[in-house]
Structure formats: structure tokens, C-alpha cells
């Protein structure tokens, strides 16, 4: 018996490699053809009593050696080779701001395309492991240019990347001018590594709070509805947001006006925020990569947030803290959770 690779919470019989990627074994499709994993979603075994050290160790290994590691490596490369010196960033100028804008745009286009092209252009695995049948909308009034992909690319590159870049340049300028306490590798290596480890942890409550705010009556229609037009999301839907939502979304880095850091921590947080939405909106549970052993196929970890796009009023966060559980908005994908959500909405006067 091995740990379930979807939730680490229960033991499953080892599958033959040929069957390990069979969507019928790992999940099921309803009458509308929507696929869902069999195992309900679970939070990491952190806030549990009694403690479960072995389960926690398994989760922590997954936390380290996952998308987080990829973003950290990208951030390290950017910081070492594609970021101007702090002396250069002492005063604003197109000479260093423009290269950062172009660098971020290139990284986004390459990373998002690596997910989008095989799944949505070549359609290499068809709808296997796809949560919702169907492809990005064409000729729909919901989207700019009447085309979901073009709309999503537009908002990502014309709003998301510039606002990401604006935060990055502003924070580098603040580091350069001593408005943020800068840690150094010589004296503070332990703290820099710890802060890098905590970046996804911090992003979780920040995303929850700003996201809940965007679902308020005052803000939803004006600023967040645009993102929710993507009821059948793909990678490019991830950063397809209104500029006001981008300003809120990337604002987590402002914490470093309080918490000392190194520019590499700042860059990691921005890379994490800028790239994680692509797998987070993949639309598929797994991306089947030819040549990879079946058991090592790429997990998107997108089901939690897919349920948010499907039902709107649940799963506002998606990470380490069980925030939705604490605030009564968690939907683990089970029929019971859906019934509880509908009852909660009915109590609030939703039909
Ligand atoms: Zn989303
Ligand atoms: Zn939302």
C-alpha cells in the first residue's frame, strides 16, 4: 500500500504504471462529462491534533519538491543573471525598468505557452483528466475580441506583467534607497532561506483576504467578474484579471516594508505570484508528459481553485492554512460539501 498521491491522506493499492494515469481509476465523470478526483480535497496535516508527523513529513516533501522549487530556481536565475544591481536601481530610468518588463513578459509567454500549447492547441491528451469538457470559447461576448484565449493573453500581458514589473521596480528602488532593510547572504543566509520557504505560506492568507474583498458586493462586478468569465479556465486564465485586481494580487510583496528581506526573496514572491496561476488554472488534474514515467506525470493541483471557478462562493484560498475551513467556505469536491455550500448560500438569500 502507498500514500494516495492526490491527498496523501489514505493508503491506496499500488497501481500498475500503465493504469496509474487512468482517469477512471483516479476519478470519475458525472453525467455532464465533468471529471473530479475520487479523493476529496484535504488541507496539509499541519493544524491537526494529535500531530501526524509522518503525514506531515510526506506533505512537506511535496511542498518542497513541487512547483515551488521550479519557481525558486527561476527566481534565483533571474536574480543572478537578469536583475540590475541595487546601485542601478537607486533612481528610476527606462534603461533598467524596460529590460525587467521585457524579461517578465518573455518568462510569462514561455511558461504559459509550455502549458497551453500542448493541452489547448495540440490537444495532445484530449480531455483526459480535464475537469470540464470543452475548449476555450470563441465568438463569445463575455470576452475581449470575442475570444477567450486572446482575452486572457491580453489581460495577462497588458495588465498583469506591467503591474508585476511596477511592483518589482518600486521594491528594488526601495531596497536601493534603504526604505527596506536588506538582508545579506554573508550575515543572514539562514533568514533568507527561511523567508524563501515561507513565501507560499504568506501568499496564502494574503490571497484569501484580497480575494474575499474582491467578492464583496462593492468590488465583484467592477473588478473580479472579468476573471470569473473563465468558468472553464485554461492556463492563460490565471492572470486574466482587471488591473485593480492585479494591483491587489501582487501587493503581498509590500510586506517587506515591515519584514526585512533580500531582493531574491522579493523576486521569488513575484515569480511565484506571476507563474503559479498558470498550473492553478490548468483545467486538467494532470498533464501527461510523454517520456515521463506514468507515476511521475505532472499534477496541476488545480482542483481546489477549479471548484472556485465552478461555484464562485467557495475555496477562496488554496494553500497551507485551512482558511476556507475556518470560515465555512471549504468545498472538498464531495456531494456532501456541495450540499452544505448550497444550504449556506440559501441561508444568505442566494437562489
Ligand atoms: Zn482563478
Ligand atoms: Zn473569485
Closest among 83, 131, 74 to 274, alpha carbons compared: 74
pTM of the model: 0.92
**Ligand nearest to C-alpha 302:** 1
DSSP 43-105: --TTS-SS--HHHHHHHHHHHHSSHHHHHHHHHHHHHHHSS--TTGGGS--HHHHHHHHHHHH
Domain presence at residue 128: yes
Answer yes or no: are the C-beta atoms of 315 and 324 closer than 8 Å: yes
Closest ligand by atom to 306 CA: 1
Find the 298 Cα to ligand 2 centroid distance in Å.
25
Residue 142's domain comprises 67-347
User: What is the CA(24)–ligand 2 centre distance, in A?
Assistant: 29
Q: Is residue 269 part of a domain?
A: yes
pLDDT tens string 57-113: 999 999 999 999 999 999 999 999 999 999 999 999 999 999 999 999 999 999 999
Enumerate residues 6+ apart whose C-beta is below 8 A from 273: 164, 203, 249, 250, 252
Residue 291 CA, ligand 2 centroid: distance in Å: 36
Identify whether 59 is part of a domain.
Answer: no
Angle between helices 263-275 and 67-81 (to 10 degrees): 130
Closest ligand relative to 152 C-alpha: 1
- Say if strands 11-12 and 27-29 run parallel, antiparallel, or are unpaired: unpaired
In this predicted model, what pLDDT tens digit does every residue of 224-248 receive, in sequence order? 999 999 999 999 999 999 999 999 9
- For strands 27-29 and 35-37, give the pairing: antiparallel
Report how far ligand 2's centroid is from the alpha carbon of 70 (Å). 26
Is residue 12 a part of any domain in this protein?
Answer: no
Residue-level pLDDT at 319: 82
Task: Say what the pLDDT of residue 290 is.
Answer: 81
Question: How many whole angstroms from 83 Cα to the centroid of ligand 1?
Answer: 29
Is 114 domain-assigned?
Answer: yes
Is 34 among the domain residues?
no
On whether the CB atoms of residues 15 and 24 are closer than 8 A, the answer is: no
User: What is the number of the ligand closest to the CA of 315?
Assistant: 2
Q: Output the CA 306–ligand 1 centroid distance in Å.
A: 7
Residue 162 main-chain phi, psi, to 5 deg: -60, -40
The count of C-alpha atoms lying within 13 angstroms of the C-alpha of 199, restricted to the half-sphere facing its C-beta, is 28
* pLDDT string in tens for the chain (351-residue length): 444 444 444 444 444 444 456 888 899 999 999 999 999 999 999 999 999 999 999 999 999 999 999 999 999 999 999 999 999 999 999 999 999 999 999 999 999 999 999 999 999 999 999 999 999 999 999 999 999 999 999 999 999 999 999 999 999 999 999 999 999 999 999 999 999 999 999 999 999 999 999 999 999 999 999 999 999 999 999 999 999 999 999 999 999 999 999 999 999 999 999 999 999 999 999 999 887 776 678 999 999 999 999 999 999 998 899 999 999 999 999 989 989 998 888 887 765
Number of domains in the chain: 1
How many angstroms separate the alpha carbon of residue 159 from the centre of ligand 2? Answer: 18
Residue 91 domain flag: yes
| Residue 241: C-alpha distances to residues 112, 168, 266, 291 (Å) | 15, 18, 22, 35
Residue 124's CB is within 10 A of a number of other CB atoms, namely 14
Examine residue 169 and state whether it is found in any structural domain, yes or no: yes
Separation of CA 125 and ligand 2 centre (Å):
28
Measured in Å, residue 36 CA sits from the centre of ligand 2 at 20
Q: Cα–Cα distance between 256 and 160 in angstroms, integer?
A: 21
CA–CA gap between residue 157 and residue 150 (Å, rounded): 11
Question: What pLDDT, on the 0 to 100 scale, is given for residue 4?
Answer: 41
Amino acid at each position: 500500500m502507498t500514500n494516495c498521491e492526490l491527498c496523501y491522506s489514505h493508503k491506496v493499492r499500488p497501481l500498475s504504471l500503465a493504469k496509474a494515469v487512468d482517469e477512471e481509476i483516479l476519478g470519475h465523470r458525472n453525467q455532464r462529462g465533468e471529471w473530479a478526483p475520487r479523493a476529496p480535497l484535504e488541507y496539509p496535516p499541519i493544524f491537526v491534533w494529535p500531530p501526524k508527523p509522518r503525514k506531515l513529513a510526506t506533505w512537506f516533501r511535496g511542498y518542497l519538491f513541487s512547483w515551488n522549487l521550479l519557481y525558486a530556481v527561476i527566481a534565483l536565475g533571474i536574480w543572478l543573471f537578469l536583475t540590475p544591481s541595487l546601485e542601478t536601481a537607486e533612481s528610476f530610468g527606462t534603461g533598467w525598468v524596460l529590460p525587467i518588463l521585457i524579461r517578465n513578459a518573455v518568462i510569462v509567454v514561455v511558461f504559459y505557452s509550455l502549458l497551453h500549447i500542448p493541452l489547448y492547441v495540440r490537444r495532445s491528451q484530449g480531455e483526459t483528466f480535464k475537469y470540464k469538457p470543452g475548449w476555450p470559447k470563441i465568438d463569445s461576448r463575455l470576452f475581449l475580441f470575442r475570444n477567450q484565449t486572446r482575452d486572457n493573453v491580453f489581460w495577462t500581458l497588458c495588465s498583469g506583467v506591467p503591474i508585476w514589473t511596477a511592483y518589482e521596480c518600486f521594491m528594488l528602488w526601495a531596497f536601493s534607497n534603504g526604505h527596506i532593510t536588506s538582508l545579506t547572504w554573508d550575515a543572514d543566509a539562514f533568514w533568507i532561506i527561511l523567508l524563501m520557504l515561507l513565501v507560499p505560506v504568506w501568499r496564502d492568507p494574503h490571497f484569501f483576504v484580497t480575494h474575499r474583498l474582491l467578492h464583496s458586493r462593492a468590488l465583484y462586478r467592477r473588478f473580479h467578474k472579468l476573471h470569473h468569465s473563465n468558468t472553464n479556465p485554461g492556463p492563460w486564465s490565471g492572470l486574466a484579471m482587471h488591473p485593480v485586481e492585479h494591483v491587489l494580487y501582487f501587493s503581498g510583496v509590500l510586506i517587506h516594508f515591515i519584514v526585512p528581506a533580500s531582493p531574491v526573496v522579493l523576486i521569488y514572491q513575484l515569480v511565484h505570484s506571476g507563474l503559479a496561476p498558470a498550473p492553478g488554472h490548468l483545467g486538467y488534474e494532470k498533464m501527461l508528459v510523454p517520456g515521463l514515467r506514468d507515476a511521475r506525470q505532472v499534477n496541476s493541483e488545480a482542483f481546489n481553485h477549479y471548484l472556485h471557478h465552478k461555484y464562485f462562493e467557495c475555496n477562496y484560498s488554496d494553500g497551507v492554512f485551512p482558511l476556507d475551513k475556518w470560515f465555512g467556505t471549504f468545498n472538498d469536491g464531495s456531494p456532501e460539501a456541495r450540499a452544505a455550500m448550497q444550504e449556506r448560500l440559501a441561508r444568505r438569500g442566494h437562489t
